[in-house]
Amino acid sequence: MIAGDSHANWVSDLVWLDHEDYDPSTGNGSIGVEFAGTAVSSPSPAGQNISIANANIASRSLIGANEELQWSELYYRGYYELHVSKQQVKAQYYGLPTIVTRNPGEISLANFTVQAGANRLQRFNGSVVSGPVENGAVKFGQTVQTNLTNSTNTGLYYISHNNTEDI
């Protein structure tokens, strides 16, 4: 499933809560996967001037309150790409370092995979990601903020330092 208009990034197993057994650590009981993305210019659902730290606190709260929600990210404006093949679907999420000024930067936030016929997110040692996510909160995984930013103009990477919280 593809979702939007929540102004947030999130990835979830789709389950029949209170109807079928579901195990968030394995995905057993899931009937599908839902990918949702923010938009480039929409404000965060947590408020336009929210800090990264407060957005991540809110994401951790959402993850804790919803057993099927595997990743939540409320701060960055951006987009995601879906790569669909007969074998799998891969979702790659990107955030913009700022939308206050026009710039070519993009930050790789998180990547997720669904294998054909699996009906759930792929797990790697219990986590739905094979490494850490850049921002937000991921169930059974880690968030490691690096601000490693790719310039889509040059292909070179740099560490973004935009101190403007109003994105």
Give the pLDDT score at 157. 94
Whether the pLDDT of residue 28 is over 90: the answer is: yes
Burial of 6 per CB tally in 10 Å (0-12, 13-18, 19+): middle
In CATH terms, the fold of domain 2-159 is: Purple Acid Phosphatase; chain A, domain 2 (3.60.21)
Percentage of residues in the chain having pLDDT higher than 70? 96
Query: CA-to-CA distance for 94 and 37, rounded, in angstroms?
Result: 10
Provide the whole-model pTM: 0.93
Give the pLDDT score at 144. 96
Query: CA-to-CA distance for 156 and 149, rounded, in angstroms?
Result: 8
Give the pLDDT score at 4. 78
Report pLDDT digits (tens) over 84-126: 999 999 999 999 998 888 889 999 999 999 999 999 999 998 8
How does residue 167 score in pLDDT terms, banded at 50, 70 and 90?
Answer: very low
Q: What are the extents of the domains in the chain?
A: 2-159
Q: In sequence order, what DSSP letters do the residues of 39-57 get, joined into one string? A: -SSPPPTT-TT--HHHHHH
